[in-house]
């Protein structure tokens, strides 16, 4: 099969469109013919050689996958060849204590497909565990179906499971043009929350407003606190949806009202932040970390997608062989929505 191989760590020039072995399903496994694979910033970090992900080279990136069943293991009889499916991005053992409690995202053996959970979707075919296969919501294109698993799962886990978001609360969403930011906006609006959307791009704010954002902030980090406090009449927000890191973290934290929650899932501007603990305990703030979400949560999200409650947003598509250009486009941070690699007949 054709695949995009990461031959060495570094820049996008290390991605090579080449021949690779065809995956063969073993017991409990399925091979999916990949029709679309959405990019995530995780792909850029793994490509650059982030130490947290131990992989062997050459490696195939990509965890957000949609396609069709190509073949199944001998003990898998619940799927038909050609059936349209999506792939759950997280690999868990479903045997450890965390998995048995329904917290499979905290599995002792957890890995993300395309990162530390096996080869991913930058290929014509991908092999995954049978339990990772979910039916693709009807009426979604392959590109749309590949554009929601990781981002909507993460946003749902952050706002609903961890943040316990309630109708009428106010959420500050940083980086609204990103896939996870757009997902957070939709999850928050579905729950009846007010959303303050921030970015440094005026065009992205306009698109966020069309999607239901209640307040818009075109602001560098130094203006963030002042504008949020003014918009909330001095009260602050109930939840901060944070995935930027040190460029915004301190100001984001200070936008919270007393008893507020900051939930973070990423560090696109770096891993280290400054924190005044006195501000945290004096206002009884909560800082929560989010690690994707569970398979059960993803199944619930698929149901809401099927009902038309959510809408994946695709910014731009690239043929599989143009993965280098897709990485450059994502790294340029001018996108609104997901960047997707596609395989056509």
CATH classification of the domain holding 88 = 3.90.180.10
In a domain, 257, yes or no: yes
CB atoms within 10 A of CB 339: 24
Pair (116, 36) in one structural domain: yes
Residues 6+ apart with CB under 8 A from 212: 185, 186, 189, 195
Is the separation of the CB atoms in 186 and 310 below 8 Å? yes
- The Cα–Cα gap between 273 and 59 comes to 31
Widest Cα–Cα separation across the chain = 62
Mark whether 66 and 183 lie in a shared domain: no
Torsion of CA 63, 293, 143, 331, to 10 degrees: -60
| Class of residue 150 by CB neighbours under 10 A (exposed 0-12, middle 13-18, buried 19+) | buried
Q: What is the pTM of this model?
A: 0.95
**DSSP 8-state symbol, 23:** P
Report the C-alpha gap between 260 and 257 in whole angstroms.
Answer: 5
Local confidence pLDDT in tens for the 345 residues of the chain: 999 999 999 999 999 999 999 999 999 999 999 999 999 999 999 999 988 888 999 999 999 999 999 999 989 988 889 999 999 999 999 999 999 999 999 999 999 999 998 999 999 999 999 999 999 998 899 999 999 999 999 999 999 999 999 999 999 999 998 999 999 999 999 999 999 999 888 999 999 999 999 999 997 778 889 999 999 999 999 999 999 889 889 999 999 999 999 999 988 888 899 889 999 999 999 999 998 999 999 999 999 999 999 999 999 999 999 999 999 999 998 899 999 999 976
Residue 21 and residue 68 in one domain: yes
CB atoms within 10 A of CB 26: 12
Candidates 154, 45, 142; CA nearest to 86 is 142
Same domain flag for 104 and 126: yes
Note whether 166 and 99 are same-domain residues: no
Query: What was the pLDDT predicted at 267?
Result: 84
The answer to the question of residue 331 being in a domain is yes
Based on the domain organization, do 158 and 277 belong to the same domain? yes
Count the domains in the chain: 2
72 in a structural domain: yes
Examine residue 49 and state whether it is found in any structural domain, yes or no: yes
Contact 274, 245 (CB under 8 A): no
Q: Considering the domain boundaries, does residue 198 fall inside one?
A: yes
Residue ranges making up the domain that contains 107: 2-147+312-342
Examine the domain organization and report whether 156 and 143 are in the same domain: no
Query: Is 68 inside a domain boundary?
Result: yes
**CA-based torsion, 156, 158, 160, 165: positive or negative:** negative
Q: Is 255 found in the same domain as 134?
A: no
Question: How much is the CA Rg of the chain, to the nearest whole Å?
Answer: 20
Task: Answer yes or no: do 82 and 15 share one domain.
Answer: yes
- Residue 150's closest CA among 5, 294, 33? 294
Domain assignment present for residue 303? The answer is no
| Residues 6+ positions from 148 with CB-CB distance below 8 Å | 64, 183, 301, 305, 310, 312
Question: Same structural domain for residues 132 and 161?
Answer: no
Q: Distance (Å, rounded) from C-alpha 109 to C-alpha 193? A: 35
CB-neighbour burial class of residue 333 (10 A; exposed 0-12, middle 13-18, buried 19+): middle
Q: Does the CA dihedral 104-109-111-117 come out positive or negative?
A: negative
Residue 234 placed within a domain: yes
**Number of Cβ atoms within 10 Å of the Cβ of 69:** 18
Q: CA geometry: angle at 51 spanning 162 and 58, to 5°?
A: 110
For residue 90, is the peptide bond before it cis, meaning its omega torsion is within 30 degrees of 0?
no
Based on the fold, state whether residues 26 and 123 are members of the same structural domain.
Answer: yes
Same domain, 16 and 143: yes
């Amino acid at each position: 099969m054709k695949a995009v191989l990461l031959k060495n760590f570094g820049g996008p020039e290390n991605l090579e469109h080449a021949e690779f072995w065809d995956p063969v399903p073993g017991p409990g496994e399925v091979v999916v013919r990949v029709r679309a694979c959405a990019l995530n910033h995780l792909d850029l970090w793994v490509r650059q050689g982030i130490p947290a992900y131990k992989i062997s080279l050459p490696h195939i990136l990509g965890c957000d996958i949609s396609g069709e069943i190509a073949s199944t293991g001998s003990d898998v009889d619940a799927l038909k060849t050609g059936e349209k499916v999506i792939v759950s991005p997280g690999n868990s053992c479903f045997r450890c204590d965390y998995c048995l409690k329904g917290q499979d995202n905290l599995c002792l053996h957890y890995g993300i497909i395309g990162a530390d959970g096996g080869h991913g979707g930058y290929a014509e075919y991908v092999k995954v565990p049978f339990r990772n296969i979910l039916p693709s919501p009807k009426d979604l294109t392959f590109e749309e179906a590949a554009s929601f698993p990781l981002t909507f799962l993460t946003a749902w886990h952050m706002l609903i499971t961890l943040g316990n978001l309630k109708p009428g609360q106010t959420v500050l969403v940083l980086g609204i043009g990103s896939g996870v930011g757009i997902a957070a906006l939709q999850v928050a609006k579905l729950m009846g929350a007010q959303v303050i959307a921030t970015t440094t791009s005026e065009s992205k704010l306009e698109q966020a407003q069309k999607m239901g954002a209640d307040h818009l902030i075109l602001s560098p980090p130094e203006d963030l606190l002042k504008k949020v406090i003014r918009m909330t009449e001095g009260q602050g927000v109930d939840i901060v949806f944070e995935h930027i890191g040190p460029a915004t973290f301190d100001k984001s934290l200070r936008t919270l009202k007393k008893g507020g929650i900051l939930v973070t899932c990423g560090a696109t501007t770096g891993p280290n932040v400054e924190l005044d603990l006195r501000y945290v305990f004096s206002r009884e703030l909560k800082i929560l970390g989010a690690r994707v979400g569970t398979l059960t949560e993803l199944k619930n999200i698929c149901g809401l997608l099927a009902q038309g409650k959510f809408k994946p947003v695709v910014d731009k598509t690239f043929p599989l062989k143009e993965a280098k250009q897709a990485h450059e486009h994502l790294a340029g941070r001018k996108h609104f929505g997901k960047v997707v690699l596609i395989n056509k007949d």
